[in-house]
Amino acid sequence: MNHSAKCPLCDQEHETIDHILVSCVFARQFWFRFLGQVNLQNLSPQPDAHSFIDWWRLASIAIGGLTEKGLNSLIILGACVLWNHRNMCVFDGISPSLPAILVQAEEERYLWELAGAKGVSFLTAPLHVE
């Protein structure tokens, strides 16, 4: 299977894990909207973020307390959803879609909440995608 070296989500930069998860413009839009659902959009990766682990560490430090566990769960969930969306673009030929990935993230968040994911219930903003 032929696969471009460019990111399948933005088609602008070389594809790396860190790019897909934090520095890709598509990923930054996803994080802003996804974290915005729980009023944490200020923690979304900024344009100068190039390391997923560094961004996650800084976001966790910034939030602290009981909400930190919820944020950590959301970051793991968001990274999984982003990676799965990337795989669907590469292997199934779908086009990147911010509305589609936000719906998928919303559904996963609901399931994680039902399953008792650590701290997610502390982040009680209503779930909705515009």
Asked if the model's pLDDT at residue 97 lies above 90, the reply is yes
What is the Cα–Cα distance from 33 to 98, expressed in whole angstroms? 9
SS (H, E, C) 88-130: HHHHCCCCCCHHHHHHHHHHHHHHHHHHCCCCHHHCCCCCCCC
- Where residue 125 falls among pLDDT bands split at 50, 70, 90? very low
User: What's the predicted TM-score (pTM) here?
Assistant: 0.88
Neighbours of 124 (CB within 10 A): 11
Rounded to an integer, the average pLDDT of 67-96 is 94
Domain ranges of the chain: 17-122
Q: Can you say whether residue 74 is alpha, beta or left, with left for phi > 0 and alpha for psi between -120 and 50 degrees?
A: alpha
